[in-house]
Copies of this chain bind each other. A is one copy, B any other.
Amino acid sequence: MTYEALFESICRKKSYLCVGLDTDIRKIPAHLLKEKDPVFEFNRQIIDATADFCVSYKPNTAFYEALGPKGWESLQKTVEYIPKTHFTIADAKRGDIGNTSGLYARTFFDPASSGMDFDAVTVAPYMGSDSVKPFLEFENKWVILLALTSNSGSNDFQRLDSEGASLYEHVLRTSQTWAGPDRMMYVLGATQASEFQKIRTVIPEHFMLVPGVGAQGGSLEEVSKYGMNAHCGLLVNASRSIIYAGNDKDFALKAKEEASGMQQEMEIYLDRYCK
C-alpha cells in the first residue's frame, strides 16, 4: 500500500485506528476453545466487527509463535482474511545481519516463501543499516522502525544522550538516509505525547505508529494534537482495550463498540488537527 493510498483510506474512514491482534489463547472467550482454530476464529470475528472503524491491523507475532507451528497457521489465515483495503503490520520487531534480515523479510513479505503477505513489519534498529535495508528491497512494503517505545524499559537506552540528542533521535535521523516517508514509519510511544512536537521537527512527513493508547494509558487527544501532520501521519494502535472489551459470546460486539468509539473521537481530531 502506498503513502497516498493509506492517507486516502484514513480520509474515507475518518479513522487512523490500528487494531492490535494480540490474541492470547489464554484470554479469549471460553466458547471459542471448541473451534478447530480458536485463535483464527477469534480474529475473524474481531476483524468482521471492527473493519469499518479502522484502517489497519497489527498482529503481534509473539502471540502466534508461542503456539508453535499451529500458531503460525493461525497467523497466515489471519493476514489472508484481513481485507486488502486495510494496512497490515507484522509486529515482529525483527532485525539481524543483512543476509538473515533478508530471510525475515521473506517471512513477512513473500507469500511464495512463508505464505504471508503483510504490508509492513516492525524492525528493531540496534544492529543498524544492513539489518534494516533488506526489508526495503520489497517493493511497496514498509519498515516500521522502533524509535521510542511505550514501555518502562525505554528509559534504559533509548533516552541515552549522545552529542546532544537521545539515541532514539539518532535512530530517527540516521534511518532517514535509508528510505523516505513513503517506505518507512516509526514506532513512537504515546506516553510521551508532549515530545511529539519536537519529534515532528525531525520527521515532519513520516507516519508514526503509536502504541500505548488504551490499555497502556496515553491520551488520544494529546497524541493527535501534537503528532498529526497534513497527511494525518498517525496510526494509533489499540489492542487489549478493543479485543478484550468483552469476554463472553458478545465479545465481537463489545470490540465493535470500542472501535467505533475510538473512530468517532478520531473523526473530531482529524477535523481539528489534520492540516
Contacts and interface: CB of A to CB of B under 8 A. Distances in A.
Interface of A: 22, 24, 60, 62-63, 65-73, 76, 93-98, 100-101, 103-104, 106-107, 110, 113-116, 124-132, 146, 149-158, 160-163, 167, 170-171, 174
Contacts of A95: 93, 124
Contacts of A66: 103-104, 106-107, 110, 113-114
Contacts of A127: 93, 124, 146, 149, 151, 153-154, 158
Q: Give the number of copies in the complex.
A: 2
Given A160-B167, A161-B162, A62 B104 contact: yes
Nearest to A177: B156
A122 to B, nearest CB: 9
B96 A60 contact: yes
A128 to B, nearest CB: 2
* Most chain B CB atoms below 10 A, which of A96, A113, A115, A155: A96
Contacts of A129: 152-153, 156
Contacts of A163: 160-161
A151 B107 contact: no
A174 B157 contact: yes
Nearest to A24: B103
B114 A65 contact: yes
A60 B103 CA distance: 10
A100 B151 CA distance: 11
A113 to B, nearest CB: 5
B158 A68 contact: no
A63 B113 CA distance: 11
B124 A152 contact: no
Contact of A128 (B70, B101, B153, B162): B153
The 8 lowest CB-CB distance pairs between A and B, nearest first, are: A128-B153, A128-B156, A62-B103, A68-B114, A97-B151, A69-B69, A130-B153, A160-B162
Contacts of A128: 151-158
B62 A68 contact: no
B62 A100 contact: yes
